[in-house]
Structure 1
Amino acid sequence: MRHLRVLCAIADTGSLHKAARQLGMSQPSLTTQLRRIENALGAELFARERTGCRPTPLGRSVLSRARPLVSQMATLVTETRAAAARADGPRLRVGSTASRALPGWLRRLRHRLPGTDLALHMDVSANALLRMVAAGQLDVAFVHEVEGCPLRVPDGLVRRVLVDREPQFISMARDHPAAAEPVVDLTDLAADRWMVDPTVDGEWDGLRRVLAEAGIDPPVLHADYHTAASLIVLGEAVAPCQPTSGPREDMAIRPLRDDPLAVRLLLHARPGTPIDELYTELASAYREAALRAAAYRQWLLRNGSPLLRAA
């Protein structure tokens, strides 16, 4: 069954790198596992191309049989876990993309729902989290939707909008020339190398659109944001970041003029989940994180944000 899940993940993502991230393993390990599967079957299941992996005719045949088995096994595991949770006590399975509001949200949920077992699942892919909610593997998911790149939301989920348009700021080295200004123009960063994580749904497409509209074509490096931070502080790159990002002595975080980059913050849940209670605690946690970040707090003041009135 593990091998079948590997094949389905590669086919769904079209990339060994993305599939490895989705499965929580390294790309070399995934490549080795795929090679063993193909050696056992005596034929290639995927054609490796410059743009990714594409199933061969045999691969499509194997996938047509594998997908129902993987789906049935997922349903079996979900139903078994749900039955065990009902027997052992209340449980809330929370999914989330990265957010500075997450620790405060979990703290508030533990206080509001005493005795509830809180399970957390993190993923860079909002679409993957939404699929897990629809499949019954999660009860609720807090996700980011890049402006201009709508998420693929499965039918039947309940939704609340936390922030309709959250501006994305820019992180750069503390001694970057643009860091001397409180607000940065995109054209001031035209000569910089930009870093973006292509595994974050919509991130690369959204950035590419904004850069094109600004008439600039800077060099772009695809990497995860943990790698990006080490290069940013050295002045080797700049990168988009959440406005709630905390202060660092070796890094400057600035808003972009006219806020061309933005995301929408959404809470999705299965029907029957107490989404209004969860939303209330998430909104309080987000407000706390927003007001704690100095650059974002100033942006909220300039724009007369309702977050300040709520506070």
Structure 2
Amino acid sequence: MELEVRHLRALCAIADAGSVHKAARQLGVTQPSLTTQLRRIEHALGAELFARERTGCRPTPVGHEVLSRARPLVAQMAALVSETRAAVARADGARLRVGSTASRALAGWLRGLRGRLPGTDISLHMDVSANSLLRALAVGQLDVAFVHEVEGCPLRIPEGLERRVLMEREPQFVSMARDHPAAAAPVVELTDLADDRWMVDPTVDGEWDGLRRVLGAAGIDPPILHGDYHTAASLIAVGEAVAPCQPTSAAREDMAIRPLRDDPLAVRLFLCHRPDTDADAAYEELATAYREVALRTTTYRQWLLHHNSPLLEAA
């Protein structure tokens, strides 16, 4: 077996994600296929590259050596591809490659950009990992990236990127079944959820560490379910779990969204771009779209009013 760039990219993804499971999701492949690929690579090199542990994978000494050689090659190949595509785009016309983590402001943002930049080819790449988007931005695969940074869990921002903060501290609310006892109050105490199962997506950068820190500070050690938030919705609706959620999340007939007392969970929202990218239009349209969705969401609008948010002044 001869090693190819895709093999080196897989090794870098596993090292960055800390587990084969997370890396597989980021690469868009199944975990078994990535595990098989890793075994073939190790067999070809005649050495174990990662030590398998209960909490994930960590590079062995040989793995560190291989990664030190692989990363520059992967970055150079990514730069070659992106620069070639950029040259083609310049010849063919204007293009804006947008990256984003999940946000209800996305639809309005894209609509605003298309109206403001007619004739521009606007593409969207979504990823649960903000760090993955920032790496793609750094090597020229994206032009702008809208990401969230969990409080207390700083993102790894590549050198040279610039950022514009949209919300310095966006509170994270909690979603629960409509008939949950805590849903009767407009604001929920963390201690009211001490006996609930909490669900969190560990592939979202900083999400699990941030939640664990806040629960620990409150003296709470509830059972944790790991899974994606699409699955979480069905479990929350029937009372099997509660979960942190964005304040712009819309309530459903079978689900309630409530702020937490003193807002212990929060994220910073910002738009990141390379110095050679004019991000004014992207930022302004993003701010407008976010403001619109925030003010349409009753619970979040009430929170903004209570805290005299600058968003209301801008509106």
- Displacement of 1:67 in angstroms is 2.5
- Distance, in Å, in 1 between the alignment partners of 2:309 and 2:47 is 59
Which residue number corresponds to residue 22 of structure 1? 26
Q: Map 1:162-241 to 2 at 5 A.
A: 162-241=166-245
Contact 2:135 2:158 (8 Å CA) reproduced: yes
Match of 2:139 in 1: 135
Q: Which residue of 2 aligns with 1:283?
A: 287
State the alpha-carbon separation in 2 of the partners of residues 282 and 57 from structure 1. 44
Give, as a single letter, the amino acid of the residue that structure 2 aligns with 1:249: E
Question: Which residue in the other structure is 1:272 paired with?
Answer: 276
Q: How do 1:3-22 residues align onto structure 2 when only pairs under 5 Å count?
A: 3-22=7-26
Seen in structure 2, the aligned counterparts of structure 1 residues 56 and 154 have a Cα distance that, compared at 3 Å, is: closer
Alignment gaps of 5+ in structure 2: none
Q: What percent of counterpart residues are identical?
A: 81
Q: Matched residue of 2:153: which SS?
A: coil
Letter in 1 for 2:267: V
**Stretches (4+) displaced over 6 A:** none
What is the TM-score when the length of structure 2 is the normalising length?
A: 0.94
1:71 match: 75
Q: Which residue in 1 is equivalent to 2:92? A: 88
Taking the aligned partners of 2:176 and 2:304, their CA distance within structure 1 comes to 21
2:248 to 234, 244, 249: 244
TM-score by length of structure 1 reads 0.95
Does residue 132 of structure 2 align to residue 123 of structure 1? no
Q: Which whole-Å deviations, capped at 9, do the CAs of 1:48-84 have from their partners, x for residues lacking one?
A: 1212112334433433333332222112111111111
| Contact 2:187/2:258 (8 A) holds in 1 | yes
Quick one: which amino acid aligns to residue 163 of structure 1? M
Post-superposition offset of 1:290:
0.4
Find the residue that maps to 1:246 and give its secondary structure: coil
Q: What is the CA deviation profile of residues 244-268 of structure 1, one whole-angstrom value per residue up to 9, with x for unaligned ones?
A: 0012111110111111111111011
Amino acid paired to 1:268:
C
Helix, strand or coil at the partner of 2:51: strand
CA distance in 2, matches of 1:240, 1:209: 13
Displacement, 1:42? 4.4
- In the other structure, the counterpart of 2:113 is 109
1:309: Cα distance to partner? 2.2
Report the alpha carbon displacement of residue 302 of structure 1 after superposing the two structures with TM. Answer: 1.7
- In structure 2, how many angstroms separate the alpha carbons of the residues matched to 1:214 and 1:200? 22
Give the letter for the 1:171 counterpart: S
Please, which moves more after superposition, 63-72 or 2-11?
63-72
